[in-house]
Structure 1
């Protein structure tokens, strides 16, 4: 791998820079996650945290976050998606 496209991670194994960072697809992903988050908040207040529909929506949101964490680590780090995932899907 070309060393010019590597990002050092504090002495750990270098990670490749994502070719997708800043792509138009991120805007669509952010819009989808934003809508799912709004829907989850509304359902949570109407139906409660343990209702099956609320849990299904939380699962969809978790899958969207997980997918982006694995697909584009640079974007995920820049947007602090790991923290957003935990706050949105597990703390509420």
Structure 2
């Protein structure tokens, strides 16, 4: 999934931390970077959720940051594998 997002130039939200909140004195470059990061974050979340089965989506809490969503998917996947081995 990370590769797909990288190829689509949407991995910014995975590579960089969320930029600081905009202030009245923020310049145009800061505003563009802020918007670019938030757009990449939103699009990445949509793509990841679309790629998940309904069962996987249901087992993961809603996240508003793609990094947190990716971590939750990883934890869920490890838990599922552990349960299958124990069964």
Q: Normalization by structure 1: what TM-score?
A: 0.39
**Richer in strand (by share):** 1
